[in-house]
Amino acid sequence: QQQVKQSPQSLIVQKGGISIINCAYENTAFDYFPWYQQFPGKGPALLIAIRPDVSEKKEGRFTISFNKSAKQFSLHIMDSQPGDSATYFCAALTGNQFYFGTGTSLTVIP
């Protein structure tokens, strides 16, 4: 059973557009929600993270929106650039274990 459901599986966005990736969860014990960015042949790197007592966190062009009542959180990439083309994973932490979404392959077209 997938603990964290991520959508869409793939996304194509024009340069300068907004990329939006969504994740949903059921386990209310999750208390930390990071997003990871992975380039081909590389390990994932922590991009941005949020705790459930905050509804939004912004770092540069990247924003996490968190809806605790709906048990959903999303990643928004503003002014998307070709260099943002990568696979993005959402995750959720409970105890010492993370549960990952299945990933979204983002392609930003110049």
Partner 1 sequence: DGGITQSPKYLFRKEGQNVTLSCEQNLNHDAMYWYRQDPGQGLRLIYYSQIVNDFQKGDIAEGYSVSREKKESFPLTVTSAQKNPTAFYLCASRKNRGTYGYTFGSGTRLTVV
Interacting residues with partner 1 (CB under 8 A): 6, 9, 31-32, 34, 36, 41-46, 49, 51, 89, 91, 93, 96-98, 100-103
Tell me whether residue 83 is exposed, middle or buried, using C-beta atoms within 10 angstroms of its C-beta: 0 to 12, 13 to 18, 19 or more: exposed
Find the shortest distance in angstroms from Cβ 12 to partner 1.
Answer: 17
Find the shortest distance in angstroms from Cβ 97 to partner 1.
Answer: 7
At 44, list the tokens. Answer: 């994932």
Find the shortest distance in angstroms from Cβ 106 to partner 1.
Answer: 15
**What is the Cα–Cα distance from 2 to 45, expressed in whole angstroms?**
22
**What is the Cα–Cα distance from 92 to 35, expressed in whole angstroms?**
9
